[in-house]
């Protein structure tokens, strides 16, 4: 089985990223103070024994100074201090069909 690794660049979340009119959930979850991936489309399907199986795996590692990043990492103590109590959330946009609205039957919402 072949596994593809894709780095996901991050940027500050905005309401337009979610492309939904679900502003109540956006505000309730305080999404504007979080970071989102700039990659917009993901395919997740199947299960481990299925011929087509996709999944997301998140790995985090501490920044290490190198010439490639211009030795721009914070100190290990600053990183630890900043991440103490930090949380990781994964929100997705889900869809439901409104059968009473023939012109716009698809409705999108933040699935938390």
Question: Which tens digit of pLDDT belongs to each residue from 44-101?
Answer: 777 778 777 777 778 888 888 888 888 888 888 998 998 888 888 887 778 889 999 9
Place of tokens 């795996």: 57
Place of tokens 């012109």: 103
Contact 15, 23 (CB under 8 A): yes
Higher pLDDT, 65 or 38: 65
Contact 18, 29 (CB under 8 A): no
The pLDDT assigned to 105 comes to 93
Nearest Cα neighbor of 64 from 73, 77, 53, 56 is: 73
Q: For residue 110, report the phi and psi dihedrals to the nearest 5 degrees.
A: -80, 120
Instruction: Kindly indicate the confidence band of residue 19, based on its pLDDT and cuts at 50, 70 and 90.
Output: low
Residues in the chain: 112
| Other CB atoms within 10 A of residue 26 CB | 19
């Amino acid at each position: 089985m072949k596994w593809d690794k894709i780095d996901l660049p991050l940027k500050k979340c905005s309401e337009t990223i979610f492309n939904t009119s679900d502003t109540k959930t956006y505000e309730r979850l305080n999404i504007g103070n979080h970071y989102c991936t700039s990659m917009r489309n993901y395919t997740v399907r199947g299960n481990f024994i299925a011929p087509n199986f996709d999944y997301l795996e998140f790995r985090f590692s501490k920044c290490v100074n190198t010439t490639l990043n211009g030795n721009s990492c914070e100190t290990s103590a600053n990183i630890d201090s900043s991440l103490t109590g930090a949380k990781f959330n994964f929100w997705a946009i889900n869809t439901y069909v409104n059968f009473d609205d023939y012109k716009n039957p698809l409705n999108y919402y933040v699935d938390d």
